[in-house]
Structure 1
Amino acid sequence: MAKSSADDEDLRRACQAAIEDTKQDVVMSIRVAKSRGIWSKAGKLGRGHMAKPRVLAISTKAKGQQTKAFLHVLKYSSGGVLEPAKLYKLKHLSKVEVATNDPSGCTFVLGFDNLRSQSVAPPQWTMRNIDDRNRTLLCILNICKDMLGRLPKVVGIDVVEMALWAKENTPAVTKQQGTLQDGPVMAAVAEDDMKVTVERELVSQAEEEDMEALLGTYVMGIGEAEAFSERLKRELQALEAANVHAILENEPLINEVTSEMGITGLEAATNCVDDMDEWLSIFNVKLRHMREDIESIETRNNKLEMQSVNNKSLIEELDKLLERLRIPSEYAACLTGGSFDEARMLQNIEACEWLANALQNLEVPKLDRSYANMRARGQLKRPDHADLRYKCRTYARLLQHLKSLDKNCLGPLRKAYCSSLNLLLRREAREFANELRASTKASRNPTVWLDGSTGSNQSASSADTSTVSEAYAKMLTIFIPLLVDESSFFAHFMCFEVPALVPPGGLANGNKTVPIDDDNDDDDLGIMDIDDNDKAGSQKNADLQALNESLHDLLDGIQEDFYAVVDWAYKIDPLRCISMHGITERYISGQKADAAGFVRLLLDDLENRISTQFSRFVDEACHQIERNERNVRQVGVLSYIPRFATLATRMEQYIQGQSRDLVDQAYSKFVTVMFVTLDKIAQADPKYADILLLENYAAFQNSLYDLANVVPTLAKFYHQASESYEQACTRFISTIIYYQFERLFQFARRIEDLMYTITPEEIPFQLGLSKMDLRKVVKSSLSGVDKSISAMYKRLQKNLTSEELLPSLWDKCKKEFLDKYDSFAQLVAKIYPTETIPLSQK
């Protein structure tokens, strides 16, 4: 027998040199022949592939307490030198299958569970003889069992025969005292290790035969069973005593056991050291965190000390400045309450001269320029009109009597009051809005979200603009209650009789109202209804109309300052219109009183303004989407698909209150324009239309999967994109299949068309549909089915730009092809019953 290549030391040294950079030790190396099949049809569809010479090298690498095993595939370079071609990790080995179509049994397949493409069959390895095959497989299985603790699935081979072969071909190894080397011993393979998948029986055949022979040596009668049992017990005790004596006499075995116990102790100590090392690493991390916390505390303490020193210096500077601004009491008395008598004129002149000098000292030449640029800035708070209302209460009873005497006289008074207070309210609102915008710091977010002309690497700004909506909410929080209070006070003070103005004390003494005593109510005028007669309904309606007209005069013009805040917020971040819309809706639902009629109109106008601004943003974004249509030929996923997902995520974060409808309308408009634009771009290039559609619809579904689970509107468009994706896939796959098997399926289509007009028996006699034509079509289409299928896969891979879609589309393509082929086979069996065509193997 020729020497096996597994014993070739030169080959092993060449393999070791080829993988020298990996720091791995070659355990075994052997020459093999590599071949490949497609769709697990080895031999049938893979006969056209020529076998290639390769070398399989099994190597190991120690890493800490573990040992890793690898399978290297090496090929010969043009100079005859071995070089690495493939590398497999044996921990991923899941299946060992011997090819059944090879009569010699020397061909096998190794299946790994981490291969990227499971649709392509793994390579087949062919050995020179059965001994080389068994030797290689036993080496792989032993490594999997010893190092990895598990065994792969074995198919197509009798493991009992392998175990017998190992027993016959493995030389005996004497047990001697000594140190065993690390790593698997490939030459000595115990019989128990060979039986990798054979279930152990409780009593083997040999043991059963020994028991029968033992029982046959004794001739027992009835009643002698107990004596036989006692005899067996005595013999068993004697055998056990002999075994113990033999063990005690076997000193090398005792030493070996002792050494094994020592090794076990060393392993336990090693484990303890590893645990201690892990604890120390944990303590080290905790200490590092403590050091960081201490440094952070020290930094804060240093900042507090610096702040304390700065505050002390600031107080000293302010004291000096206030000293220059303080007016002596004698001069203040002369300037504020002094008389212009002749005797006091000198004091008055002296006080005026001092004040003039003090004002000149506050000018730039005599004052530090840093002080000259300072401006007073107070905290934003609600304007206080308590003093004004207190003074108006003095005239409340007079107005009641004037109304009783002459109702028409209140008209000019109301107009004058509204005109004067309107100027005050508008000035306060304008100053508040200006100060609010000046004190709010926010980075401006871009309004260009979905434009593809800026490049695919554009990312939306993630600047926090929550201060903008907070500023708008603060504007409403301060001024809406103020305007409601002013409207209510005006209605009470100017004696309007409307249903909403019944005092909260209820009715007493018929229809007369009794006020309640509440010192905290600034708007309570303490007015009794001096008119004992009920007002007619028409009179109340007239008062309500007059009140609304007066409130319009009182508050007209203040809405411009609210509009300015809305426009300012829109320029910083258009998406903040969503949160402002929800805030406005909340205030609208809280305004029910008739006295706040103008306030409700103001809030409605604000809501319309916000909706208009947001609609403007939506329209601009839709124009950005439509501009993609004018670009050059589009390939792959369009830029606005992933950007829309980012935009939708941001919009969902801004939703407050009742703004869901506003956002859903924007979603509907966005997605509708996106899908229409996508269809137009696809129609511009019909050859690649289906590819563009399926890739973009798939990207739409992937990017919006999480949002579609919680937003019903997006879920509707998600399902629409899913249907369009399936339709595009069907068309594209059909194109791929018909491109390779056009004659075959065109023949089937002609048969199906004729079946509507003539009987199946007449079809074989039609021109171009005879049995001879069928044989030609089948032969021309299926003779190179191997190459045609590979061409289908390559064509699919070439046209797709999204690699993650390739496995699923290839599975669909295979299923569609097999379904069409089965339909063709059924059609042939019906029309040409005597003809046979190859059957598909799914």
Structure 2
Amino acid sequence: MAKSSADDDELRRACEAAIEGTKQSIVMSIRVAKSRGVWGKSGKLGRQMAKPRVLALSVKSKGQRKKAFLRVMKYSSGGVLEPAKMYKLKHLSKVEVITNDPSGCTFTLGFDNLRSQSVAPPQWTMRNTDDRNRILVCILNICKDVLGKLPKVVGIDIVEMALWAKDNTPVVTTQRSTEDGEPVAEAVTESELKVTVEKELVSQAEEEDMEALLGTYVMGIGEAEAFSERLKRELQALEAANVHAILESEPLVDEVLNGLEAATNIVDDMDEWLGIFNVKLRHMREDIESIETRNNKLEMQSVNNKALIEELDKVIERLRVPSEYSASLTGGSFDEADMLQNIEACEWLAKALKGLEVPNLDPIYANMRSVKEKRAELKILKATFVTRASEFLRNYFASLVDFMVSDKSYFSQRGQLKRPDHADLRYKCRTYARLLQHLKSLDKNCLGPLRKAYCSSLNLLLRREAREFANELRASTKVSRNPTVWLEGSTGSSQNANTDTSAVSDAYAKMLTIFIPLLVDESSFFAHFMCFEVPALAPPGGAGSDKRPNNDDGNDDDDLGIMDIDESDKKTGKTSPDLTALNESLQDLLDGIQEDFYAVVDWAYKIDPLRCISMHGITERYLSGQKADAAGFVRLLLGDLEARVSMQFSRFVDEACHQIERNERNVRQMGVLPYIPRFAALATRMEQYIQGQSRDLVDQAYTKFVSIMFVTLEKIAQQDPKYADILLLENYAAFQNSLYDLANVVPTLAKFYHQASEAYEQACTRHISLIIYYQFERLFQFAKKIEDLMYTISPEEIPFQLGLSKMELRKMLKSSLSGVDKSIAQMYKKLQKNLASEELLPSLWDKCKKEFLDKYESFVQLVAKVYPSENVPGVTEMRGLLASM
């Protein structure tokens, strides 16, 4: 038989090393296989394979108390034992040997403290039944000794366990001789052995009695038949003694039977009485239940009545209209002193109306007659108050504006520009801001007429302020008016360039500085005051914020007492459905004021059209600063002003272009056309006026001017083709000279500068070629014939062609190159004769000499190819001749 793993000292030491530090000692360690449901039906394998484990029984002493544990060890990846689980044996409630395992080597241990009893406990499988019995006997002994109790054992006979334990318990035997001389084995004392099953199953006294009983039969135990016969005789004697004892006890039995009969009669009487009492108790119980039912109904009725009274009190409280609120809503005053009471009445009315709606009122009350009547009464109160308040506010807005319009001190007067101040107007309006908020919550439809009334009244004031300010602004600005003739031959053009008209654009800027922030503030105030659910129109630090009037109205526009209305919508900045309505109202509020801005623009244009550039830049700067005022009237106004300035400037550009085109109808012109230098002066001044983002406006004007200038120049040149190139090169040169400095800093002018340079080079090339061919026509015509023939025949055949013989070459050279110095001098005189700009002559003469040398060098090369034996003056000789002249 193989050695059991329970006797493996190495295994025990590995287990002790795994629990080192726990102050526990190992009693037994044995190898097992762990599985869950391994043995299923028909002995087939279950869900998972078995895993090798080691079960170790350990004991920990704490004073006189001992604690026992069952430890499960598993092998790590390195083959070292390490603790996996630990169970306390005091919670062991059941030991069950699995009957599905044919070998009987599989068992489970049930603990009563496991959290999940629904999960099947692990099954432990031993190598053989000896190992199974050994571990189970050890567990039972420890439970008996340490804990004083035994778990329930299922699936194995406890007697078989005891017999196996007795057979397999190691004992130390001693030899002693009986009287016959036979050796008899004597067990050692219990203190010398480990705990065994016999100690657990049979007590010491029982064991002594059994030994004494067996000792009486020791002498005859060898004769089985005699011993059996003796036992039979003793059994018969015992049976006879029992029958005799029974017969002797008959009187006692009769006495007991009589006593039982009497007791039966008494029990029957008691049963009858108990039946009577039971009937009476049943009737009494029914009476008590009836009384309790009636009592419960009365209590329920009392509770319901109390709750009903409370509900009715609440409904009555909702339906009651306080007399002071009713008086305020129907006939109260709207003076400033009474506004607090009016606001309280509005708040109560709004709350009362909401309280009678289904979400806030129990639906069972919604159709009650009293609730319907009270709801109708509150609606009448609401309509009455809204009508009265709307009428008062319409009259109030009109009276405020009429008072300000009738006082001339509010507006600009002769000699004094008056900055509009609406601080007092807004302060008086803020008194009724909360009233407007409550009117909106009571009836949104009432705000439309009120908004129109406010816009109509304030529009009169704003237009009057703008008109008086614009009139006084123009009257107080003193500048001399310049004629709009810039690009034609006018005698006054020289004075125009020196006239300072900056006061014109400063006046326009002042108009915007005063009124744009005012209009933005008015738009923002109107949006808040009239309860529009839109984001704020005038953000802090917007355009013109640094130019606000020095009053208390600068940052108080939001202090209307109504910022709590739809505050969340304003923070999120989402598009409000009221934005369209707000823009329509702002159109009514500010419409017509643009005419006064247009008047300033037109006035500035008449004084100095070029100031449109400055005004365009100022307008764009304000327009870029109003991005937060999305789709507002102020942004539209600035856009219209920008379009107006652009239109007036375009008008000036068109008139100037018309003046340029008029030069086309003049009689033959020589030299530099007058609009070339005047355009340079105009461009210089335009660059001085550029402000902000008006670069595009000026670049468009440059494009239109220069395009018309170049087209007109070409048309004038075509009137006299003989002198066309001279006129073109002189004017293109003048254009480049006059705009050289500006072209270095203005990309648009640089583009036209390069265009003029290319046109100048082309005109020079054509004019110089014309002069050269005029003087040396035969020479270069002869070369042209040779070049044309070289495309079709070889150079050796050319001297045999008609008109190209060597004799013809000699005649041509004699007529063209005899007196060549005189011919070159004639070229210089002809170049000088028709040129009006003397400063261009040196550069043109250099170009002429270079062009002539290039053409002559080509001629010499042709002659060398076709007439190799002919002698022609060389290029070096001709270059020296030209250099000496």
TM-score interval, normalised by the smaller of the two chains = 0.5 to 0.7
Distance change >3 Å, CA 739–CA 676, structure 1 → 2: same
The answer to whether residue 427 in structure 2 is matched with residue 390 in structure 1 is yes
Structure-2 residue corresponding to 1:402: 439
The answer to whether residue 466 in structure 2 is matched with residue 467 in structure 1 is no
User: What are the equivalent positions in structure 2 for 1:440-479 lying under 5 Å apart?
Assistant: 440-452=477-489, 454=490, 460-479=496-515
Distance change >3 Å, CA 379–CA 457, structure 1 → 2: closer
Identity between Structure 1 and Structure 2 (%): 86
Task: Name the CA distance, whole Å, in 1 between partners of 2:872 and 2:529.
Answer: 102
Distance change >3 Å, CA 800–CA 592, structure 1 → 2: same
CA deviation after TM superposition for structure 1 residue 774, in Å: 0.5
The answer to whether residue 819 in structure 2 is matched with residue 776 in structure 1 is no
- Alpha carbons 1:485, 1:523 under 8 Å: kept: no
CA deviation after TM superposition for structure 1 residue 527, in Å: 2.2
Equivalent residue letter for 1:491? A
Distance change >3 Å, CA 503–CA 466, structure 1 → 2: closer
Distance change >3 Å, CA 555–CA 749, structure 1 → 2: same
Write out per-residue CA displacement over residues 753-778 of structure 1, whole angstroms, 9 at most, x where no aligned residue.
Answer: 11111111111111111101101111
Task: Name the CA distance, whole Å, in 2 between partners of 1:749 and 1:556.
Answer: 78
Equivalent residue letter for 2:853? L
Residue 498 of structure 1: SS of its match in structure 2? coil
- Alpha carbons 1:635, 1:692 under 8 Å: kept: yes
CA deviation after TM superposition for structure 1 residue 529, in Å: 2.2
Greater Cα offset, 525-534 or 818-827: 525-534
Structure-2 residue corresponding to 1:72: none
Task: Name the CA distance, whole Å, in 2 between partners of 1:608 and 1:728.
Answer: 41
Structure-2 residue corresponding to 1:643: 678
- Alpha carbons 1:446, 1:461 under 8 Å: kept: no
Normalization by structure 1: what TM-score? 0.52
Structure 1: 5+ residue stretches without partners: 1-374, 505-516
Structure-2 residue corresponding to 1:436: 473
The answer to whether residue 427 in structure 2 is matched with residue 380 in structure 1 is no
Structure-1 residue corresponding to 2:749: 714
Structure-2 residue corresponding to 1:162: none
Structure-1 residue corresponding to 2:516: 480
- Alpha carbons 2:664, 2:715 under 8 Å: kept: yes
Residue 800 of structure 1: SS of its match in structure 2? coil
Residue 500 of structure 1: SS of its match in structure 2? coil
Residue 697 of structure 2: SS of its match in structure 1? helix
Structure-1 residue corresponding to 2:531: 495
Write out per-residue CA displacement over residues 55-78 of structure 1, whole angstroms, 9 at most, x where no aligned residue.
Answer: xxxxxxxxxxxxxxxxxxxxxxxx
Match of 1:614 among 649, 654, 666: 649
Distance change >3 Å, CA 592–CA 692, structure 1 → 2: same
Structure-2 residue corresponding to 1:130: none
Normalization by structure 2: what TM-score? 0.50
- Alpha carbons 2:611, 2:689 under 8 Å: kept: yes
Structure-1 residue corresponding to 2:615: 580
Match of 2:847 among 804, 808, 812: 812
Task: Name the CA distance, whole Å, in 2 between partners of 1:620 and 1:707.
Answer: 23
The answer to whether residue 781 in structure 2 is matched with residue 746 in structure 1 is yes
Task: Name the CA distance, whole Å, in 2 between partners of 1:396 and 1:636.
Answer: 76
Equivalent residue letter for 2:532? F
Equivalent residue letter for 2:456? S
* Residue-pair matches, total: 456
Equivalent residue letter for 1:377? R
Task: Name the CA distance, whole Å, in 2 between partners of 1:421 and 1:557.
Answer: 12
Task: Name the CA distance, whole Å, in 2 between partners of 1:493 and 1:572.
Answer: 42
User: What are the equivalent positions in structure 2 for 1:308-457 lying under 5 Å apart?
Assistant: 377-452=414-489, 454=490
Match of 1:565 among 600, 615, 639: 600
Task: Name the CA distance, whole Å, in 2 between partners of 1:771 and 1:402.
Answer: 115
CA deviation after TM superposition for structure 1 residue 518, in Å: 10
Match of 2:874 among 820, 835, 839: 839
Equivalent residue letter for 1:388? L
Match of 1:725 among 755, 760, 764: 760
User: What are the equivalent positions in structure 2 for 1:12-27 lying under 5 Å apart?
Assistant: none
Equivalent residue letter for 2:838? E
Equivalent residue letter for 1:478? I
- Alpha carbons 1:484, 1:596 under 8 Å: kept: no
- Alpha carbons 2:626, 2:635 under 8 Å: kept: yes
Task: Name the CA distance, whole Å, in 2 between partners of 1:679 and 1:592.
Answer: 47
CA deviation after TM superposition for structure 1 residue 520, in Å: 5.1
Task: Name the CA distance, whole Å, in 2 between partners of 1:379 and 1:750.
Answer: 88
- Alpha carbons 2:725, 2:767 under 8 Å: kept: yes
CA deviation after TM superposition for structure 1 residue 461, in Å: 3.7
CA deviation after TM superposition for structure 1 residue 456, in Å: 11
- Alpha carbons 1:445, 1:461 under 8 Å: kept: no
Match of 1:629 among 664, 670, 685: 664
Structure-1 residue corresponding to 2:735: 700
CA deviation after TM superposition for structure 1 residue 536, in Å: 14
Equivalent residue letter for 1:721? A
Task: Name the CA distance, whole Å, in 2 between partners of 1:777 and 1:570.
Answer: 69
- Alpha carbons 1:422, 1:554 under 8 Å: kept: yes
CA deviation after TM superposition for structure 1 residue 647, in Å: 0.5
Distance change >3 Å, CA 723–CA 419, structure 1 → 2: same
Equivalent residue letter for 1:496? F
Task: Name the CA distance, whole Å, in 1 between partners of 2:767 and 2:801.
Answer: 32
Distance change >3 Å, CA 520–CA 555, structure 1 → 2: closer
Residue 541 of structure 1: SS of its match in structure 2? coil
The answer to whether residue 590 in structure 2 is matched with residue 521 in structure 1 is no
CA deviation after TM superposition for structure 1 residue 526, in Å: 2.6
Distance change >3 Å, CA 569–CA 376, structure 1 → 2: closer
Equivalent residue letter for 1:450? L
Structure 2: 5+ residue stretches without partners: 1-411, 541-551, 880-885
Structure-1 residue corresponding to 2:299: none
User: What are the equivalent positions in structure 2 for 1:209-358 lying under 5 Å apart?
Assistant: none
Write out per-residue CA displacement over residues 413-472 of structure 1, whole angstroms, 9 at most, x where no aligned residue.
Answer: 1111100100000000000000000000111122111124x4798664420000000000
Write out per-residue CA displacement over residues 674-697 of structure 1, whole angstroms, 9 at most, x where no aligned residue.
Answer: 111111111111100110110011
Write out per-residue CA displacement over residues 529-568 of structure 1, whole angstroms, 9 at most, x where no aligned residue.
Answer: 2569979999963311111000000000000000000000
The structure showing larger relative contact order (alpha-carbon pairs under 8 Å, at least 6 residues apart) is 1
Task: Name the CA distance, whole Å, in 2 between partners of 1:477 and 1:769.
Answer: 85
Distance change >3 Å, CA 646–CA 819, structure 1 → 2: same
The answer to whether residue 584 in structure 2 is matched with residue 542 in structure 1 is no
Equivalent residue letter for 1:695? E
- Alpha carbons 1:487, 1:595 under 8 Å: kept: no
- Alpha carbons 1:575, 1:651 under 8 Å: kept: yes
Task: Name the CA distance, whole Å, in 1 between partners of 2:474 and 2:554.
Answer: 36
**Which structure has the larger Rg?**
2
Distance change >3 Å, CA 554–CA 763, structure 1 → 2: same
Distance change >3 Å, CA 749–CA 455, structure 1 → 2: farther
Distance change >3 Å, CA 596–CA 758, structure 1 → 2: closer
- Alpha carbons 1:492, 1:501 under 8 Å: kept: no
CA deviation after TM superposition for structure 1 residue 381, in Å: 3.8
Task: Name the CA distance, whole Å, in 1 between partners of 2:601 and 2:843.
Answer: 49
- Alpha carbons 2:524, 2:536 under 8 Å: kept: no
CA deviation after TM superposition for structure 1 residue 815, in Å: 1.0
Structure-2 residue corresponding to 1:787: 822
